[in-house]
DNA sequence: CGTTCGATGCACT
DNA sequence: GTGCATCGAACGT
């Protein structure tokens, strides 16, 4: 297949540009259980120590170190004790910033996603989920894709977990809104989402 | 419809 | 000990 994996140079740019350009791209995770992929429809930017909502707001710590590292790597952490959230590290190395992947439209491995959603985690559902909800919300996305703490610092420019150039038709129409679920830094409109996508998480 | 709230791990103070 | 970049069940209206 053609090598459509986004190169490191894609991530080593201003975070808002990376966020915008990730919309419509394809997130792919290949495991022994199978291949899952989906179109990215919602992201959020977290930019630098001056951003109060960014994990780097208090400077370098053991947890947020990946934010300061190479662009194009994954920053995965646990929040609320039960959800893994995945980010793509951006900007040149040394600048702590990333794009949070919040929602995707399932493309490949939908049965596998559904199985992961139903069997993984403490909040498993008994009934079968609508396809559009499988990767709706950052916690749901990581569960459907089988992304866990083991993926922290993983290079997104290699094999396994990566983002591909979608090559799908025209550019989707997007909107910029305040970020969701945070208590500080709500003024910045750094959430980018596809307008009218059923797979975008709402408020 | 709407809002509230418990689950749950761990980094940080 | 505190506070989350969440989710969905369980309520109330």
**Measured between alpha carbons, how far is A10 from A13 in angstroms, rounded to an integer?**
7
Distance (Å) from CA A201 to C1' C4? 19
A135: the nucleotide nearest its CA (via C1') is C7
pLDDT string in tens for chain A (203-residue length): 668 999 999 999 999 999 999 999 999 999 999 999 999 999 999 999 999 999 999 999 999 999 999 999 999 999 999 999 999 999 999 999 999 999 999 999 999 999 999 875 556 665 678 999 999 999 999 999 999 999 999 999 999 999 999 766 668 999 999 999 998 999 999 999 999 999 999 76
Distance (Å) from CA A203 to C1' B1? 14
**Measured between alpha carbons, how far is A12 from A200 in angstroms, rounded to an integer?**
26
The confidence score (pLDDT) of residue A166 equals 74
Which of strand B's nucleotides are less than 7 A from any protein C-beta? Answer: 6-13
Residue A44 CB contacts under 8 Å (≥ 6 apart), including other chains? A19, A99, A100, A102, A179, A180, A190, A191, A192
Helix/strand/coil (H, E, C) string of chain A? CCCCECCHHHHCCCHHHHHHHHCCCEEEEEECCEEEEEEEEEEEEEECCCCCCCCCCCCCCCCCHHHHCCCCEEEEEEECCCEEEEEEECCCCCCCEEEEEEEEEEEECHHHHHHHHHHCCCCCCCCCCCHHHCCECHHHHHHHHCCCHHHCCCECCCCCEEEECCCCCCCCCEEEECCCCCCCCCCCCCEEEECCCCCCCCC
Contact by Cβ (8 Å): A35, A116: no
Q: Which of residues 62-91 of A touch strand B (CB under 7 A)?
A: 62-64, 77-82
Which of strand C's nucleotides are less than 7 A from any protein C-beta? Answer: 3-9
CB of A58 nearer than 7 A to strand B: yes
Q: Which of residues 29-48 of A touch strand B (CB under 7 A)?
A: none
The confidence score (pLDDT) of residue A125 equals 62
| Nearest residue (CA) to C1' of B8 | A81
A142: the nucleotide nearest its CA (via C1') is C6
**CATH tag for A2-194 (out of 3.10.300.10, 3.50.50.60, 3.40.190.10, 2.60.120.200):** 3.10.300.10
Structural domain boundaries in chain A: 2-194
* Residue at token pair 């893994």: A84
The confidence score (pLDDT) of residue A128 equals 77
Distance (Å) from CA A169 to C1' B9? 42
Q: For residue A36, give the nearest of A114, A101, A122 by alpha carbon.
A: A114
Residue A129 CB contacts under 8 Å (≥ 6 apart), including other chains? A114, A117, A118
**Measured between alpha carbons, how far is A144 from A90 in angstroms, rounded to an integer?**
24
Contact by Cβ (8 Å): A67, A75: yes
């Amino acid at each position: 297949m053609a090598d459509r994996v986004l190169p490191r140079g894609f991530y080593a740019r201003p975070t808002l540009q990376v966020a915008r350009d990730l919309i419509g791209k394809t997130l792919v995770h290949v495991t022994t259980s199978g291949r899952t992929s989906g179109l990215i429809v919602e992201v959020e930017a977290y930019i630098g120590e001056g951003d109060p909502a960014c994990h780097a707001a208090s400077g370098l710590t053991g947890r947020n170190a990946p934010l300061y590292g190479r662009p194009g790597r994954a920053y995965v952490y646990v929040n609320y004790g039960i959800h893994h959230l995945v980010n793509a590290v951006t900007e040149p190395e040394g600048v702590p910033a990333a794009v949070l992947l919040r929602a995707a439209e399932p493309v490949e491995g939908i049965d596998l996603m559904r199985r992961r959603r139903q069997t993984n985690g403490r909040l498993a559902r008994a009934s079968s989920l609508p396809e559009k909800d499988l990767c709706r919300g950052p916690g749901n996305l990581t569960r459907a894709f089988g992304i866990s703490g083991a993926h922290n610092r993983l290079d997104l420019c290699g094999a396994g977990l990566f983002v591909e150039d979608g090559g799908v038709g025209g550019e989707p129409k997007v909107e910029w809104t305040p970020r969701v679920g945070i208590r500080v830094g709500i003024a910045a409109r750094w959430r980018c989402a596809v307008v009218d996508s059923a797979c975008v998480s709402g408020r």
